[in-house]
């Protein structure tokens, strides 16, 4: 190849690559090459120092740290375990930063139109050049990773029987009792770590290559790569938060959906487990991103090289998305400051005010950065802002204005197979929030109707100003109270002025689920006819009976010197063995099922400012101790049960056993 005389004595990287390719081309038809071996070898020689640096970082962070760790106790196995769970800062930094560095280094010639022209003057197609750079990046990226993996192998125990369906190790028959040995990872742990981290690096490398294709500026390239990596999870999370602000009853159990959007989020949320579905998803996304990057590379105009953003479409997308996220954040922050804890009757003006103020400012700044000039006021910029307005209007239609009827949607009783709702949050008798049910499942048709009636009542009252005192963000005395502690008036009525939560989940006949979560002050439940009908329903009482906990699990019981679970329990005058405790529990259930219609207010366990119990129907409290299994999950070991004057069978049994006068301290 002929080059200008001024550059022959000191050729650029691209000129050197061009000569290298020309010398090694031989008789191969360049247009049919998948990759160029001469170009690949040239790029490896150019960037091998980065790979060597990566090896040094990984070896120092991994095996050398382990070797320098004292063997006393479990220190060395603990360091190994942290490393294999990808908690090693050096390893994690390599997995995140090195893919970005290699992508930017391989396509650094895009920063100059002259260097692009030289690179593209080689007897190679753009596709061949792109694929060669990708193969080079993968080699340089994974060689240190493979070296680090093999360097950790001598520290591993050799026991691999595959993985279970959960993605965790199959430990059947391991037979290791030594705590240090159990803590130390094995070869299967190492394999799992290698697979997970390889996926992380591949995904970040793909996003980094795409970011490198979009910009011809190194600084903007770094920002673009970060933008591509976070934009989808950020929009997803932001949408959930906005929905929770605007749609009364909106519920999401967690942000686990974000785990499908980035392998680092998957690792953070689900830990170091193998998930075939996630692996396939992330590999497919990485392949799609690289394909898009190659298409852009083929269509790139050399004269646009060096621009902050080289494609008009990318400029529009970047500007609109940054403006969208920034304005939503601004509006959401203002709205949350106004809303407080209860959002049923909140005025949403602050959200739209925040969007209106922030969006033009963010749009102007972003456009200046993307175009690399302050001269941005043009018809094209106006069209881009118009695109943002349209997208924002559509977004608000589905989130803030509820055109889908999300808040009003209640399934027909005929379509509901069961409904679940929690009871552990409510400080009401008989259990007074002492037992973690998780959720109560109702299958009785009448019970389901009562839940639907409560749901309908909440939906209707939420927008009715007449019920503002039950829902707005202030307690009965005008003092905010979002916790379970005392109000400014020393808990004149704790339950009424405390935020309560009801989560309703319908299991529909088509296997789908519909969930809603409502937060309001306790005074709402005390003034709810629908809630009163629900708690007096025989199906509800059966679902919340001690029988559902299990009589056989009861090991003992004791009375309390003071009524209520908030005062010391277990220091009473009466202690019962398993047989008597189970008999007492069965009698309590019989009385519970036959109770007369009960006002919710009579079930509240509240105390006056001097600590005296306000519920005069409550005779005594009984603390039941439960047998627990060796399950790794949470399992309650006891629960409190409040006995009122209406528990006639229970009272009669206590008197017959000569225990009543000892247990009740009137």
**Total residues belonging to the chain:** 666
Nearest residue to 107 (alpha-carbon basis) of 125, 133, 132: 133
- Kindly report the pTM of this predicted structure: 0.73
Nearest residue to 96 (alpha-carbon basis) of 183, 7, 200: 200
Can you give the pLDDT at residue 180? Answer: 46
Can you give the pLDDT at residue 267? Answer: 82
In whole numbers, what is the pLDDT of the chain averaged over residues?
80
Q: Is residue 79 within 8 Å of 63, Cβ to Cβ?
A: no
CA distance 37 to 557: 80
Can you give the pLDDT at residue 483? Answer: 39
Please give the C-alpha separations between residue 75 and each of 65, 81, 516, in angstroms, as whole numbers.
11, 10, 47
Q: Is residue 645 within 8 Å of 596, Cβ to Cβ?
A: no
Regions in the chain scoring below 50 on pLDDT: 1-10, 26-28, 160-167, 169-181, 341, 474-490, 492, 561-571, 632, 666
CA distance 88 to 59: 12
Any bridge partners for residue 575, and if so which?
558
Please give the C-alpha separations between residue 204 and each of 108, 182, 226, 264, 309, in angstroms, as whole numbers.
17, 33, 10, 9, 20
Q: What is the DSSP-derived secondary structure letter of residue 237?
A: H
3-state secondary structure 366-393: HHHHHHCCCCCCCHHHHHHHHHHHHHHH
**How many of the other CB atoms lie within 10 Å of CB of 478?**
10
Q: Is residue 643 within 8 Å of 622, Cβ to Cβ?
A: yes
What lies within 8 Å, CB to CB, of 377 at 6+ separation is none
Q: List strands edge to edge, sheet with 499-508.
A: 440-442, 416-421, 499-508, 513-521
Can you give the pLDDT at residue 426? Answer: 59
Q: Is residue 241 within 8 Å of 332, Cβ to Cβ?
A: yes
CA distance 42 to 69: 40
pLDDT in tens, 473-531: 543 333 433 333 334 344 545 777 778 888 899 999 888 889 998 888 888 888 899 99
CA distance 91 to 86: 7
């Amino acid at each position: 190849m002929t080059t200008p005389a001024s550059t022959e004595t000191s050729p650029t990287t691209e000129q050197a690559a061009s000569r290298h390719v020309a010398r090694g081309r031989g008789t191969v038809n360049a247009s049919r090459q998948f990759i160029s071996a001469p170009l690949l070898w040239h790029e490896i020689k150019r960037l091998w120092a980065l790979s060597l640096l990566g090896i040094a970082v990984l070896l120092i962070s991994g095996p050398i740290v382990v070797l320098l760790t004292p063997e006393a106790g479990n220190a060395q196995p603990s360091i190994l375990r942290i490393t294999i769970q990808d908690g090693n800062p050096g390893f994690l930094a390599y997995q995140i930063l090195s893919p970005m560095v290699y992508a930017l280094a391989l396509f650094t010639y895009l920063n100059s139109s002259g260097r692009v022209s030289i690179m593209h003057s080689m007897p190679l197609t753009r596709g061949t050049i792109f694929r060669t750079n990708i193969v080079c990046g993968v080699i340089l990226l994974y060689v240190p990773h493979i070296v680090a993996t093999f360097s950790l192998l001598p520290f591993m125990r050799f026991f691999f029987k595959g993985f279970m369906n959960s993605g965790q190790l199959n430990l059947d028959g391991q037979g290791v009792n030594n705590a240090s040995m159990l803590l130390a990872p094995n070869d299967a742990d190492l394999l799992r770590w290698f697979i997970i981290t390889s996926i992380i690096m591949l995904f970040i490398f793909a996003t980094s290559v795409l970011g490198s294709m979009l910009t011809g500026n190194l600084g903007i390239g770094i920002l673009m790569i970060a933008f591509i990596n976070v934009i989808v999870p950020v929009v997803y999370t932001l949408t959930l938060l906005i929905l929770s602000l605007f749609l009364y009853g909106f519920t999401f159990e967690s942000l686990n959906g974000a785990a499908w959007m980035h392998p680092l989020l998957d690792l953070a949320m689900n830990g170091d487990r193998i998930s075939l579905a996630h692996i396939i998803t992330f590999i497919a996304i990485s392949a799609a991103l690289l394909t898009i990057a190659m298409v852009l590379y083929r269509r790139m105009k050399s004269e646009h090289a060096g621009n902050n953003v080289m494609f008009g479409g990318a400029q529009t997308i970047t500007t609109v998305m940054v403006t969208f996220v920034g304005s939503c954040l601004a509006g959401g922050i203002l709205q949350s400051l106004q809303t407080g804890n209860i959002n049923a009757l909140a005025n949403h003006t602050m959200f739209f005010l925040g969007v209106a103020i922030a969006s033009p400012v963010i749009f102007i700044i972003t456009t200046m950065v993307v175009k690399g000039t302050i001269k941005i006021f043009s018809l094209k910029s106006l069209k881009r802002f118009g695109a943002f307005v349209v997208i924002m209007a559509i977004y608000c239609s589905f989130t803030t204005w509820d055109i889908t009827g999300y808040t009003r949607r209640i399934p027909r009783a005929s379509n509901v197979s069961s409904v679940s709702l929690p009871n552990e949050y409510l400080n009401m008798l008989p259990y007074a929030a002492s037992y973690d049910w998780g959720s109560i499942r109702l299958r009785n048709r009448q019970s389901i109707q009562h839940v639907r009636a409560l749901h309908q009542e909440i939906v209707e009252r939420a927008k009715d100003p007449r019920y503002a005192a039950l829902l707005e963000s202030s307690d009965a005395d005008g003092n905010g109270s979002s916790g379970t502690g005392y109000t400014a008036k020393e808990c004149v009525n704790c339950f009424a002025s405390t935020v309560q939560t009801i989560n309703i989940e319908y299991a529909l006949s088509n296997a789908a689920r519909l969930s809603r979560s409502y937060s309001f002050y306790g005074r709402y439940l005390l003034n709810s006819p629908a809630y009163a009908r629900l708690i007096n329903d025989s199906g509800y009482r059966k679902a919340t009976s001690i029988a559902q906990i299990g009589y056989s699990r009861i090991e003992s019981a004791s009375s309390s010197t003071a009524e209520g679970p908030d005062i010391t329990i277990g220091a009473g005058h009466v202690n019962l063995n398993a047989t008597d405790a189970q008999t007492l529990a069965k009698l309590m259930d019989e009385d519970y099922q036959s109770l007369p219609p009960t006002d919710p207010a009579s079930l509240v366990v509240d105390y006056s400012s001097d600590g005296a119990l306000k519920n005069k129907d409550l005779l005594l409290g009984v603390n039941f101790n439960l047998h627990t299994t060796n399950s790794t999950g949470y399992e309650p070991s006891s629960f409190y049960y409040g006995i009122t004057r209406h528990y006639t069978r229970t009272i009669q049994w206590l008197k017959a056993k000569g225990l009543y006068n000892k247990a009740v301290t009137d």
